[in-house]
């Protein structure tokens, strides 16, 4: 049963209100709360381990698939494997995301491995938002360790938008792309940590085929005493183009490490990386204050824009 708390989590992580059109799988407290396949997208449970298979037929276009996960039981820990088989010539949107409402003092933890096998000339927009919250007076930790592996077929395009909204005490994110000829991947990562939270994000994009393109845009905000480490890596194994851009805003007593790497194994590989860490610029705050915002509103506006 979807409670009011669950509904709020679903809206936060997947913009989901009510029952949407399209394929759907809602995982709640390690169980299947709702499942719905469509003519072109079939969702089935795995027999050998927790998780689902999502099979998208060749030529499926304009369809959306929701697979959010919510946890409202304190102390619950799960490891989930979701596999996506996207056919050729598809154009689909997949909305994942995980929300935890921790109502106790035990650690709630979701570890997930998403593996995408994308055919030729398809477009996939994949978004995932991660969010955690505690019931009043409760201190249970919220932990999420997502792993995403994508095999991108010839001429296919994947846009991956991943956002950690807030409330995740510890996360270790692993993202891997293997890109064939003419394929393109764009990853936008947005991450906020606060309190004593820690976040580590390791990303590797292997541009194997001629004409493959990869772009990583990572923006993060580290507040209070939180710690973040980023390891984005772009590997050019062909005549390809790759660009890694990491920007972090550091606040309070936070610590941020950004260690981008580019690695070329072909003379025609063109790879670029940029990384910057800094506090909010004073002139940005002043400008917004001249527009009538208070210093607090100005800071919030800058952070919201940065993480948008």
Partner 1 sequence: MLELKNVSYRVGTPDGELEILKHIDLTIPDRELVVFTGPNGGGKTTLAKIIMGLVRPTEGQVLYNGEDITELDITERARRGISYGFQQPPRFKGITVQTLLQLASGGEKLTKDRCCAYLTQVGLCANDYLDREVDTSLSGGEVKRIEIATVLARGSSLMIFDEPEAGIDLWSFARLTETFEQLHRRKEHTMVIISHQERIIRLADEIVVVSGGGITNRGSTEEIFPLILANTTGACPVIGRKERSE
Alpha carbon distance 39, 143 (integer Å): 35
Nearer to partner 1, 181 or 275 (CB): 275
CB of 163 within 8 A of CB of 126? Answer: no
Binding-site member from 57, 115, 145, 284 for partner 1 (CB under 8 A):
284
Alpha carbon distance 60, 58 (integer Å): 6
Binding-residue total with partner 1 (CB under 8 A)? 22
Tell me the window of 122-130, 196-204, 250-258, 284-292 that interacts with partner 1 (CB under 8 A). 284-292
Candidates 101, 109, 118, 14; CA nearest to 56 is: 118
Place of tokens 């072909």: 266
What tokens does 62 get? 């304009």
CB of 218 within 8 A of CB of 247? Answer: yes
Q: Is 136 in the site for partner 1 (CB under 8 A)?
A: no
Residue 49, Cβ neighbours under 10 Å: how many?
Answer: 9
DSSP letter (8 states) at residue 228: E
Nearer to partner 1, 238 or 258 (CB): 258
CA 306, 92, 143, 20 dihedral sign is positive
Tell me the window of 43-51, 54-62, 200-208, 289-297 that interacts with partner 1 (CB under 8 A). 289-297
Task: Tell me how far, at minimum, the Cβ of 307 lies from partner 1, in Å.
Answer: 7
Nearer to partner 1, 118 or 298 (CB): 298
Nearer to partner 1, 157 or 288 (CB): 288
Q: Is 305 in the site for partner 1 (CB under 8 A)?
A: yes
State which of positions 224-283 bind partner 1 (CB under 8 A): 247, 281, 283
Q: Is 295 in the site for partner 1 (CB under 8 A)?
A: yes
Q: Provide the binding-site residues for partner 1, judged by CB under 8 A.
A: 219, 247, 281, 283-284, 286-295, 301-302, 304-308
């Amino acid at each position: 049963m979807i409670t009011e708390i669950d509904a709020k989590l679903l809206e936060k992580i997947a913009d989901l209100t009510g029952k949407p059109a399209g394929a759907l799988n809602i995982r709640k407290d390690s169980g299947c709360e709702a499942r719905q396949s469509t003519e072109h997208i079939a969702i089935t449970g795995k027999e050998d381990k927790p998780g689902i298979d999502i099979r998208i037929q060749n030529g499926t276009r304009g369809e959306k698939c929701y697979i959010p996960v919510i946890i409202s039981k304190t102390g619950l820990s799960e490891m989930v494997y979701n596999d996506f088989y996207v056919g050729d010539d598809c154009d689909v949107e997949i909305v994942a995301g995980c929300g935890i409402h921790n109502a106790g003092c035990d650690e709630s933890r979701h570890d997930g491995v998403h593996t995408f096998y994308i055919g030729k000339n398809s477009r996939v927009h994949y978004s995932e938002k991660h969010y955690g919250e505690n019931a009043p007076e409760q201190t249970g930790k919220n932990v999420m360790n997502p792993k995403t592996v994508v095999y991108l077929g010839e001429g296919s395009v994947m846009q991956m938008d991943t956002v950690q909204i807030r409330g995740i005490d510890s996360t270790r994110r692993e993202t891997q792309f293997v890109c064939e000829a003419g394929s393109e991947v764009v990853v936008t990562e947005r991450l906020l940590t606060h309190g004593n939270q820690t976040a580590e994000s390791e990303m590797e994009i292997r541009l194997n085929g001629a004409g493959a393109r990869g772009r990583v845009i990572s923006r993060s905000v580290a507040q209070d005493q939180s710690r973040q480490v980023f390891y984005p890596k772009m590997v050019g194994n062909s005549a390809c183009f790759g660009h890694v851009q990491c920007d972090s805003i550091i606040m309070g007593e936070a610590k941020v490490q950004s260690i981008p790497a580019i690695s070329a194994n072909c003379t025609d590989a063109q790879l670029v990386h940029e990384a910057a860490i800094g506090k909010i610029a004073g002139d940005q705050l002043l400008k917004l204050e001249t527009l009538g915002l208070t210093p607090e509103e100005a800071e919030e506006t800058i952070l919201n824009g940065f993480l948008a």
